[in-house]
Amino acid sequence: MASPIADVSYRDYDGPLFPARYRWWVIAKQGILLASKKRNLQVLSFVSAWYYVAMIIVLFFVNQGGTGGDMRSRAMESIMKQVIWKDQFLHGFSFAQLPLLLVTLILGAGAIANDNRSRALLVYLSRPCTKLDYLIGKFVGIFVPIFVILAVPTILFYAYCALSFNQYGFLRDAPYLLPQMLVVIVVSAAFHAGLVLAVSAMFDQGRVAGATYAAMYFITNFFTVAMAITWASADGKAPGPVKHLFYGSIDGLQIGFCKALLDTSGSRPFVGSQKGTEAQLPVPPPPMMAISLIILALIVGSAFLTWRRIRAVEVVG
Amino acid sequence: MNVVEVSHLTVRYGSFTALSDFSCEIQEGCTGLLGPNGAGKTTLIKTLMGFVNPQSGTARILGQDVVASGPSIRQRIGLMPEQDCHIPGMTAVSFVAYAGELAGMPSAQAIQRAHEVLEHCGLGEARYRNVETYSTGMKQRIKLAQALVHGPKVLFLDEPTNGLDPRGREEMLDLIRSISHGKGVNVLVSSHVLRDIERVCDRVVVVMKGQLRATGTIKELKAIQGQPLDVEVREPNNAFASKLMEIGAIVGPPKNNIYRVQLAGDVLKAHVTVQSAARATGAQIRGFRLAERSLEDAFLDAVQPGEPPHILHAPTTGGAQ
């Protein structure tokens, strides 16, 4: 109960009201704020950057070992000179995929499903807020945290390499590496955000939506692994479709796009990836145009599905 | 001034017509939207909120067309829906503040206002609890708080007392009355509970099968055609009744010492006639008042099935008991 001296009578609000534009940003901001408070998300952010952290440690010690004049130092220096820098970013991105799945589930599985359950759409749509505002707000609320989680370690690793290993051809070998990686990260964040929102919009329970998205991820990933084994067992001479079907999964599409944009097939992780020793095993990159169109179609299709599911009338009764 | 103006509105869901050529005007103050379940009350609110596009007709709120104005008109409207609704994972204060921000309030003002509104709605102590842990009564209050936070000029309350115990119901009705009277908020309360409407509203709109059946003040709706008087006497007096009938009055049998008397002419003249009859017969008059029906009788009369819609601006049939 209110304090006996409190004035609890109703008073009209006479303060400012912003015009009914950019309402999507209020929704996005709320999503980002809620995400920033989730402890497990913070832990996963660090986990998703594990390859970059490991590489920083490895490169630091290899580089330190290469500063003397003895034979061991010359060997270390030789290793440094053979590092394929863009592949390190490809690996960093690839190894972040599984933690990124968990990040996406935490951020997006309940984004619309929980709103469906609690009929929150009535709260949104009874304000000067359109379906489009809602959709964009939810999308940005997932997209931005994923982008930050992927971009921050990438930029830090890039800065570390640019400042420390320029003498080993870091900037010369791939001058557009950072913008290319940022494009990859934007596409990846948009892809995850779009897909998980569409799945979330189909359900009334965040957990069910999360389980469905995870099932989609692992089932398609199993298919990718099967294609990879087929490719490897055929010693790179498997039929043509195999190398394309390898990218037929949620993370496969993203890795394929990354490979196509960086123009690399990939190689063994860490300093095992050396110039002139690219293994035959890595599947070659898919055609850039094709994979870009597939990803774009999936993002647009997901947005369309989500749009169809956002209906105020159903929840009004 | 009319707060809501609805003109020839037709809304269909597939082949089902929810509102058929519906027209009405809702004036300032507190208006009750009465009708049985499925009458079209919620559809009218949905249409006014812009959730449903009408097949024909227009609806204006505060002079703005609800279809043409788009979301901007919703900045001046608050909706308390019938069903539970909240945003999961939020405390009451963050939920109400968020609702305010969605309506266009700056963050700092939304937070401050959320505290004020929650205090007003009786949730001051529970404002830091997750809304999902609230009882039914508290959920009703938080729905009202989120509808009020941005200071709407028009408030739509859809079945606001649903699921409340008698005490909670009284408290909710007190809240609605306090908001709707003298605070500049025009309230449209949709309900099928006549007692609630009678308690808080000044005017009513009766809807049945998507058509307007009656509209006017509650007093008008309850009034009986011919304006009969209820005359309370100390004890039943046959001579008094006979005297009145001799003059030409229609007098009903006494009920709890009250005669229902209907006389031709205006009310003042009827008073004088009754008084003179009492003097002549020695009847002791204890009280006079204009006879009226209960709201329930008026409502049942308005929603009688099979009849064409009739607008009850004027009193309807009735008469001596």
Q: How many domains does chain B have?
A: 2
Same domain? B277 vs B163: no
**H or E, element range at B247:** helix B238-247
Q: Is residue B103 part of a domain?
A: no
Same domain for B50 and B152, yes or no, is yes
**Cα–Cα dist A125/B227, whole Å:** 47
Shared domain check, B79 and B185? yes
Contacts of B30 in chain A (CB under 8 A): none
Q: Which of B19, B43, B51 to mutate to test the interface with A (most CBs of A within 10 A)?
A: B51
* Residues A285/A258, Cβ–Cβ less than 8 Å: no
Confidence of residue B300 (pLDDT cuts 50, 70, 90): confident
Is B178–A122 a contact, with Cβ atoms under 8 angstroms apart?
no
- Alpha helices, DSSP H, located in chain A: 23-36, 39-48, 50-65, 71-82, 85-95, 97-108, 113-117, 121-125, 131-164, 170-173, 177-201, 206-233, 240-245, 250-262, 288-309, 312-316
- What pLDDT, in 10s, does the model give residues A29-53? 999 998 888 899 999 999 999 999 9
Q: Is residue B80 located within the same domain as residue B202?
A: yes
Q: How far is A179 from chain B (nearest CA, A)?
A: 35
Domain that holds residue B266: 229-290
Q: Does the beta-carbon distance from B51 to A312 stay under 8 Å?
A: yes
What residue ranges do the domains of chain A occupy?
Answer: 23-311
CATH code, domain with B252: 3.30.70
Q: Give Rg (Cα) of chain B.
A: 24
Per the model's pLDDT, the better-predicted residue between A280 and B187 turns out to be B187
B24 and B83: one domain? yes
Domain for residue B202, yes or no?
Answer: yes
Domain annotation covers residue B145: yes
Query: Which residues from chain A sit within 8 angstroms of residue B85, using beta carbons?
Result: 118-123, 315
C-alpha B158/C-alpha B148 separation (Å) is 14
Task: Identify whether residues B194 and B240 lie together within a single domain.
Answer: no
The pLDDT tens digits for A111-130 are 999 999 988 988 998 999 88
ipTM value for the complex: 0.83
Q: Give the pLDDT score at B317.
A: 40
Co-location of B11 and B82 in the same domain: yes
Output the pLDDT for position B314: 39
> Burial level of B287, CB count in 10 A (0-12/13-18/19+)?
exposed
A9: chain B residues, CB-CB within 8 Å: 120, 178
Q: What angle (nearest 5°) sits at the alpha carbon of residue B296, between those of residues B293 and B300?
A: 100
Among residues 218-277 of chain B, which lie with CB inside 8 Å of chain A? Answer: none
Q: Confirm or reject contact between A26 and chain B (CB < 8 A).
A: yes
Gap between the Cα atoms of B286 and B239, Å rounded: 17
pLDDT tens readout for residues A149-175: 999 999 999 999 999 888 888 888 888
Same domain, B47 and B30: yes
Q: Decide if A16 and B106 are in contact by the 8 Å CB cutoff.
A: yes
Residue after which a domain boundary falls, among B195, B221, B247: B221
A and B: number of Cβ contacts within 8 A: 144
Question: Do B249 and B206 sit in the same domain of this protein?
Answer: no
Inter-chain contact A13–B113, Cβ cutoff 8 Å?
yes
* Residues B196 and B240 grouped into a single domain: no
For A229-270, the pLDDT digits (tens) are 887 777 767 777 777 777 888 988 999 999 999 988 777 776
| pTM (predicted TM-score) | 0.84
Query: Which residue in chain A is spatially nearest to B175 when comparing CA positions?
Result: A10
Q: Any chain A CB within 8 A of the CB of B101?
A: yes
Q: What are B156's strand-pairing partners?
A: B79, B188
Are A286 and A256 in contact by the 8 Å Cβ rule? The answer is yes
Query: Which SS3 state, helix, strand or coil, does residue B150 take?
Result: coil
| CB nearest to B116's CB, from A11, A30, A110 | A11
On whether any CB of chain A is under 8 Å from the CB of B38, the answer is no
Q: Is the pLDDT of residue B309 over 50?
A: no
β-pairing, B2-13 vs B154-158, is unpaired
Residue B233 corresponds to which tokens in the numbers above? 């006497």
Q: Do B83 and A9 touch (CB under 8 A)?
A: no
The residue out of B189, B221, B253 marking a domain boundary is B221
pLDDT by residue (tens digit) across A193-211? 999 999 999 999 999 999 9
Residues 128-187 (A) with a CB less than 8 A from some CB of B: 128-130
B75 CB within 8 Å of a chain A CB? yes
Cα gap A2→A274, rounded to integer Å: 72
Domain of B48: which CATH number? 3.40.50.300
Residue B226: exposed, middle, or buried by beta-carbon count in 10 A (0-12, 13-18, 19+)? Answer: middle
Question: What is the SS3 assignment for A283?
Answer: coil
Residues in chain B with CB shorter than 8 Å from the CB of A111 are none
- Do B67 and B177 belong to one domain? yes
Residue B111 inside a domain? The answer is: no
pLDDT of residue A156: 95
Q: Where are the alpha helices (DSSP H) in A202-280?
A: 206-233, 240-245, 250-262
Interface with chain A: mutation pick from B11, B67, B87, B112, highest number of A CBs within 10 Å: B87
The residues in A 77-116 lying below 8 A from B, measured between CB atoms, are 110, 114-115
Q: Residue A219: count other Cβ atoms within 10 Å of its Cβ.
A: 11
CA distance A315 to chain B (A): 9
Same domain, B184 and B240: no
In chain A, the residue whose alpha carbon lies closest to the alpha carbon of B48 is A126
* pLDDT number for residue B308: 45
Q: How far is B125 from chain A (nearest CA, A)?
A: 6
Distance to chain A for B295, nearest Cα, Å:
27
Work out the widest C-alpha separation in chain B, in whole angstroms. Answer: 76
B321 interfacial to chain A (CB closer than 8 Å): no
Cβ separation B151–A312 shorter than 8 A: no
Name B262's bridge partners. Answer: B250
Predicted confidence band of residue A90 (pLDDT cuts 50, 70, 90): very high
Across the interface, which of A12, A124, A317 has its CB nearest the CB of B102?
Answer: A124
